[in-house]
């Protein structure tokens, strides 16, 4: 998967072996569908399709695209999984290529998601599918499902800093996640996850310099060459896939517009920026008060 995962759980019986086997089988399934690093994945084969060709969408990808379409609409396009070609041009996913000869596609109404009907997806010229900003959160949701199938009601699972918390720790205290500060003197923010999930999007760790420009891995149609902000957005949600997508959308929108979108959609969101106090959405303030 290209990142680390962890699972903490409370159980009276030894379940580490069955859990690990369940997690790894699920990871293998998602990699075979959604990985941009596997040439044989469904996603890579779709992106390599001729323009205008149609492909049937597997059930797990249907669930991802259905959620992506919701966030795309509610965020007014700030979340757009159809901009994989630009992400690849920056070298964050294969195939690596320079930006010097690349020119972003002209935006079209609805982008790649406009060519999705709930069952099939049509390849459009200039658009590649990139599910990285939602698939990781979905994988964490699936980890929680694997634990539940093993009868585990209390646990915390995580992939690359995205979490699902269920129940309590052995001492009946909640699972606490500390948000990573965006700089050494940054504010400390702890979040209790009791039946909730958490995902963070930012550009402090993933940047690239091309022709003297420092570029982020987060791309929007409004500006395909945004300057990194050195900040992050964390979203607390009922599902980690939606938290993942919304964190990307709010970060891409910027703090002012992102905060407006968070309040408009009743999201728990925490905006961290270098040199500033944390900015919380109305719902996050009510949770963390």
The H-or-E segment that residue 288 falls in is helix 282-288
pLDDT value for 99: 36
pLDDT value for 109: 55
Burial classification of residue 59, based on how many CB atoms lie within 10 Å of its CB (0-12 exposed, 13-18 middle, 19 or more buried): exposed
Mean pLDDT of 173-195: 83
pLDDT value for 28: 97
pLDDT value for 2: 63
Mean pLDDT of 226-246: 86
pLDDT value for 231: 84
- 141, 239 in Cβ contact below 8 A? yes
What does pTM read for this prediction? 0.85
Mean pLDDT of 111-123: 91
pLDDT value for 36: 87
269-285 residue pLDDT tens: 999 987 788 999 999 99
E-strand stretches of 167-249: 175-178, 190-193, 196-202, 207-210, 213-216, 231-237
Closest among 206, 225, 227, 228 to 103, alpha carbons compared? 225
pLDDT value for 3: 81
Mean pLDDT of 25-36: 96
pLDDT value for 111: 74
Query: Which domains does the chain carry?
Result: 5-132 (3.10.520.10), 163-288 (3.10.520.10)
Q: 70 Cβ partners below 8 Å, 6+ apart?
A: none
Residue 54 above 80 pLDDT? yes
């Amino acid at each position: 998967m290209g990142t680390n995962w962890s699972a903490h759980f409370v159980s009276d019986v030894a379940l580490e072996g069955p859990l690990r086997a369940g997690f790894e089988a699920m990871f293998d399934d998602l990699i075979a569908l959604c990985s941009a690093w596997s040439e044989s994945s469904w996603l890579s084969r779709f992106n390599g399709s001729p323009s205008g060709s149609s492909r049937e969408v597997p059930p797990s990808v249907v669930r991802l695209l259905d959620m992506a379409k919701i966030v795309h609409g509610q965020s007014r396009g700030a979340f757009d999984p159809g901009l994989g070609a630009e992400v690849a041009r920056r070298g964050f996913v294969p195939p690596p290529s320079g930006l010097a000869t690349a020119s972003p596609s002209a935006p079209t109404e609805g982008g790649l998601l406009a060519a999705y009907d709930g069952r099939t997806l049509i390849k459009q010229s200039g658009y590649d599918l990139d599910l990285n900003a939602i698939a990781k959160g979905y994988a964490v949701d699936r980890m929680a499902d694997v634990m539940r199938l093993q009868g585990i009601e209390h646990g915390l699972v995580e992939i690359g800093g995205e979490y699902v918390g269920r129940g309590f720790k052995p001492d009946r205290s909640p699972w606490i996640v500390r948000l990573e500060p965006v700089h050494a003197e940054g504010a400390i923010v702890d979040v209790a996850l009791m039946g909730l999930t958490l995902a963070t999007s930012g550009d402090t760790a993933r940047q690239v310099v091309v022709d003297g420009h420092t570029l982020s891995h987060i791309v929007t149609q409004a500006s395909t060459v945004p300057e990194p902000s050195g900040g992050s957005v964390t979203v607390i949600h009922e599902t980690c896939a939606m938290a993942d997508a919304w964190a990307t959308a709010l970060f891409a929108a910027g703090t002012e517009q992102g905060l407006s979108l968070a309040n408009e959609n009743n999201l728990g969101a925490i905006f961290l920026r270098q040199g500033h106090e944390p900015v919380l959405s109305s719902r996050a303030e009510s949770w963390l008060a």
